[in-house]
Amino acid sequence: MRSALIALSLPLIIALAGCGQQRAQGDPDGVPVAFTVRVDPAFVADYHRGGASTYVGFHHHHHHHSRYRSDPWHHGWHDPWDSWYGGSGYVGSEPTTLVLLGGDGPTQAQVFRKRIAFGDNDFVIPIRAGRSVTLSFQADGGIEGWETLGTVSIGDQPGQVVAVAMTADGVTLTATPPPSPPATPAAP
């Protein structure tokens, strides 16, 4: 009974051990900043090919198991002419995960860590006004590498747009400032 309880609770314990503090997805007191991120596959062409491929072999032998076709020791009977086959091949590495990091320095993610994909990615992250955020790009899995994209300063009004383009020509980072607040009319 005790071993059954341990066996049943072990997966739960392992699952909970992996639970930690949730990653930051912006500053709680931040202004919304829109991000437009484009990642071309050509951008990561020079990155390291990660994750080792594994060579796997297998074989199969066809058996007939029957209580009517067995010897006294209950070994399954089979026809010696039954075929067997085998094979082998490479199993590729895991898929590539792309991540945009925002933090206080290169490869840091105190502000946010956002999974992105090849192509266009649009999202909004709240970031504290006046904060300087260093953006970094990380690829992990089938392709591995990282680089610092640049630093942006966050304005004090909503509406700022940060556009990042990662292409074969390199990185383009532009931060459009938030619109100016409307002027208040002078009193007559």
CA-based end-to-end distance of the chain = 87
Same domain, 78 and 142: no
Q: Are residues 43 and 61 in the same domain?
A: no
Q: Verify that 67 and 84 share a domain, yes or no.
A: yes
pLDDT at 87 over 80: no
* 182 domain-assigned: no
**What's this model's pTM, rounded to 2 decimal places?**
0.65
pLDDT of 125 strictly over 80? yes
Domain range enclosing 136 = 22-50+94-176
